[in-house]
Amino acid sequence: MRDLTLGFSPCPNDTYIFHALVHGLVETPGLAFRERLEDVETLNRLALEGVLDVSKVSYHALGFLRDEYLLLRSGGALGRGCGPLVVTKGAGSMKDLRGKPIAVPGRYTTAALLLRLFDPSLDNLVYLPFNEIMAGVARGEFAAGVIIHESRFTFPEYGLTKLLDLGAWWEGETGCPIPLGGIVARRSLGRETVAAIDAALRASVAHARSNPSAASAYIRAHSQEMSDEVCAAHIGLYVNDFSLQLGAEGELAVAALLGRAEAAGVIPRSVAPLFG
C-alpha cells in the first residue's frame, strides 16, 4: 500500500468532493491517503515547499509548481459566476484604489493574480487570511478587499458593497470560465500512480453528486460557523461539471490564465507538460 499525503481545504466544496476518497467509498487501488486540511494559501505554500504528494492549490500557485507537480483533470474549482469580488465600505471606482491598501487572501491565490492582471498599478497589497478580510475593510483598515469562498454570500452583513467581480471581468475579457483552484500531484509519483489518483478523485466527485447527503456530517464538522444555507450555496457555486472533468473548455481556460500570467511576468515560463 502506497501512503500519500493529501491536502485540501475545510471549505464545503472540498470536503464534499474529497469525502468519498478519504472515507474509502471509492476504489483507490494500492493507495492510501493521509488528509491534511488547511486554508488555500497554506496549501499553496506547503506545495511550494514540496511537503504534499497531492494537494488542492490555487491556479496562481500552479504557475510556480509546474516543474514539480502535474495538474489533475478532476476535483478542482473552475466555473462561471464564481470569481473573487472586490468589496469596499464606500462608493468609488477601481481607479480610486490606486496607491491605497487592498487586502488580498494570500500572495499565491488566484484572487491576487486576477487583481494584478486587471490593473498592475493596484500594488499596495496586504496579504491576510481570507476570513479576516471583510472585518478589516469594515473597520476601515483597508480601502478594499478581495474576497473568496463563502465571503461572496456574507459580505453585505459587514456593510460592504461590491466594486468589481473579477470573475465576470475575466469572462468578459476571455470568454473562458475562471480557473480558481486545481488538484496537483507530484511528477515523481509516476504517470501510472498519478492517473490512478485522478481516476479515484473523479469517482469521489461522482459519488458525492450521486449521494449528496452522504458527506453532510463531514462537511458540517469542518464548517460549523456557516449556516446550512451558506454551505449549500457554497457547494452549488464551486462544484460543477468541471469538477468532475476539466474537459476541453476547462483546459483552454487554464492555458489562458497561465499564458496571461506568464506574459505579465507574474509567474515564470515553463515548458513542462501540464498534465500527465
The residues annotated as belonging to the active site are 149
Which residues, in sequence order, are CB contacts of 231 under 8 Å at separation 6+? 12, 219, 220, 223
Question: How far, in whole angstroms, is CA 200 from its chain's centroid?
Answer: 20
Residue 57 labeled ligand binder:
yes
CA angle 78, 122, 164 (to 5 degrees): 50
Spell out the residues 6+ positions from residue 123 whose beta carbon is closer than 8 angstroms to its own: none
58 has binding-site annotation: yes
214 is in an annotated binding site: no
Q: Which residues of 156-167 are buried (b: 16+ CB within 10 A; e: fewer)?
A: eebebeebbbbb
Residue 239, annotated ligand binder? no
111 is in an annotated binding site: yes
**Terminal-to-terminal C-alpha distance of the chain:** 22
- Which segments are annotated as binding site? 56-58, 110-111
- Which segments are annotated as binding site for substrate? 56-58, 110-111
